């Protein structure tokens, strides 16, 4: 039986990815900053563990309890939308600590066991903001674009050890808690000077023509983990697929 460790499983993509892999017969290690077992199926193949990607001191215990891994899915992330001028460097660093450095740190902690076994897959969940220019998303885009570059380079390093690295690029998913989770963080990031520019953008977000669902992302991660073609990028959701095809 294969085992996958997934970060950020309390809601949204991570929750659905965990459910999907469990339904397909995998053993799932669903990690969260604050563990909640009530959101996932109770099963011998489902373990809910505490892991905060910004706290490397939480890695060792979680990895020890997880046992040998066949796949790591770096899904945990935070969002921020607003004018870059109004975004403090402290906030920018907070976003990078989770979206960029957290992914890199956990990946580095898992690589040795995959390399030694010469098998395994690392899937990094980024965003469709890396597929096309998006307004009011400079810091968020930068944090995700860094992981795109990181993953492409890492894929070369690990290929000789039989370890694959993949990218899943979700589109806009209004059914997730992206906006509500980042509400306090994003307060005041659209000052009055930027209001005329921002208002039509937010109006368009309210009535999207194409969106991404949590199931789209879970399916893309599943395909990425099982891919044997060498494909690096897996856009997830109708809008992300359209952006990828337009590049």
- Residue 140 among the catalytic residues: yes
3-state secondary structure of 13: helix
DSSP letters, 165-183, are: EEEEEE---TTSSHHHHTH
Which pLDDT score is estimated for 94?
97
Would you place residue 178 in the very low, low, confident or very high pLDDT band (cuts 50, 70, 90)? Answer: low
Query: Does the pLDDT at position 179 exceed 60?
Result: no
Tally Cβ neighbours within 10 Å of residue 16.
22
Residue 12 in this model has a pLDDT that exceeds 60: yes
What does the DSSP 8-state code read for residue 89? H
Tokens linked to 153: 């380079």
- Could you give the CA distance from residue 239 to residue 171 in angstroms, rounded to a whole number? 6
The one catalytic residue among 13, 140, 172, 194: 140
Give mean pLDDT, residues 198-208.
Answer: 92
Q: What would the pLDDT profile of 119-141 be if each residue is shown by its tens digit? A: 999 999 999 999 999 999 999 99
> Alpha-carbon distance 247 to 119, whole Å?
32
> CB neighbours (10 Å) of residue 204?
11
Determine how many CB atoms are found less than 10 A away from the CB of residue 181.
16
Rounded CA separation 64/136 (Å): 40
How does pLDDT run across 61-78, given as a tens digit for each residue? 999 999 999 999 999 999
Question: Where do the structural domains in the chain lie, given as residue ranges?
Answer: 3-246
d(CA 45, CA 23): 10
Confidence band (pLDDT; 50, 70, 90) for 35? very high
User: Domain spanning 3-246 has what CATH number?
Assistant: 3.40.50.720
Alpha helices in 31-102 (DSSP H): 59-66, 89-96
């Amino acid at each position: 039986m294969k085992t996958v460790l997934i970060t950020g499983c309390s809601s949204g993509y991570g929750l659905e990815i965990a459910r999907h892999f469990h339904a397909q017969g995998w053993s799932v290690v669903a990690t969260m900053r604050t563990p909640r077992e009530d959101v996932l199926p109770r099963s011998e193949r489902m373990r809910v563990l505490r892991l905060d990607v910004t706290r490397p001191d939480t890695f060792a215990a979680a990895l020890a309890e997880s046992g040998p891994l066949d796949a790591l899915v770096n899904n945990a992330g935070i969002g921020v939308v607003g004018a870059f001028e109004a975004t403090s460097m402290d906030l920018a660093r907070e976003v990078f600590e989770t979206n960029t450095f957290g992914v890199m740190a956990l990946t580095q902690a898992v690589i040795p066991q995959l390399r030694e076994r010469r098998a395994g897959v690392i899937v990094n969940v980024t965003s469709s903001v890396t597929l096309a220019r998006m307004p009011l998303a400079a810091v968020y885009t930068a944090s995700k674009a860094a992981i795109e570059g990181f993953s492409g380079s890492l894929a070369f390093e690990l290929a000789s050890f039989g370890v694959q690295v993949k990218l899943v690029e979700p589109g806009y998913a209004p059914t997730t808690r992206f906006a509500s989770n980042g509400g306090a963080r994003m307060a005041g990031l659209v000052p009055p000077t930027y209001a005329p520019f921002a208002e039509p953008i937010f109006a368009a977000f309210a009535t999207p023509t194409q969106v991404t669902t949590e199931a789209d992302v879970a399916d893309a991660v599943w395909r990425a983990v099982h891919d044997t073609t060498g494909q690096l990028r897996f856009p997830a959701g109708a809008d992300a697929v359209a952006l990828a095809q337009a590049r």
